[in-house]
Amino acid sequence: MNLIVTETSLPDVLILEPKVYGDNRGFFFESFNAREFEALTGVSTPFVQDNHSMSRKGVLRGMHYQIQHAQGKLVRVISGEVFDVAVDLRKSSSTFGKWVGVHMSADNKRQLWVPPGFAHGFLVLSETAEFLYKTTDYWYPEHERSVVWNDPTIAIEWPLAGIEPTLAAKDAAAAALASAEVFV
């Protein structure tokens, strides 16, 4: 297998680390293989959309989810470094309201599987970062929701080092977990 899978403190959220083949010319790795992904994760789902963003240092994007047409996301960084976070928004889950954060970079080539039912976001730690992710459903703006990034009941430990994050207006106005629409 060309992929190492590591469980996180939220058992459904998985860190995937590809085997990288490198020499004096550079490197090669398989960033996605549907058969291997299914064999190692048990997740058999087609990805229908790829997204690519570039953000500057201190930008915090999230915590986003779709209340209908919930998206699973396979995320990775191709340039720079981010602190990536998933929050369980499944009310029936024993880990409801819990979060996990993973440092991801172009150097460590980690990927994170964020299943449907979780909010997702990231903070850019490098001067810039390019972020790629595959989704299991299309984006429907009318179903998009956000939980505020600094909700005290979730208490995400963002590595801010004294800086105020740069937020989109919709992220700054996001709902607290107590009043957010969540999954059953």
Q: Going by C-beta distance under 8 Å and a sequence separation of 6 or more, which residues neighbour residue 68?
A: 140, 143
The predicted structure's pLDDT at residue 162: 87
Q: Going by C-beta distance under 8 Å and a sequence separation of 6 or more, which residues neighbour residue 148?
A: 63, 171, 174, 175, 176
The predicted structure's pLDDT at residue 38: 92
**Residue length, the chain?**
184
Distance CA 122, CA 58 (A): 10
Distance CA 75, CA 21 (A): 21
Give the class (CATH, top level) of 46-179: mainly beta
Q: Is the pTM of this model over 0.85?
A: yes
Q: Is the peptide bond before 54 cis (omega within 30 degrees of 0)?
A: no
Place of tokens 């690519």: 52
The residue extents of the domains of the chain are: 46-179
> Which of 184, 171, 155 has the alpha carbon at shortest distance from 87?
155
* Catalytic positions: 64, 133
Q: 15 or 163: whose pLDDT is higher?
A: 15
Tens of pLDDT, residue by residue over 26-52, are 999 999 999 999 998 888 888 999 999
The predicted structure's pLDDT at residue 1: 64
Place of tokens 């995400």: 156
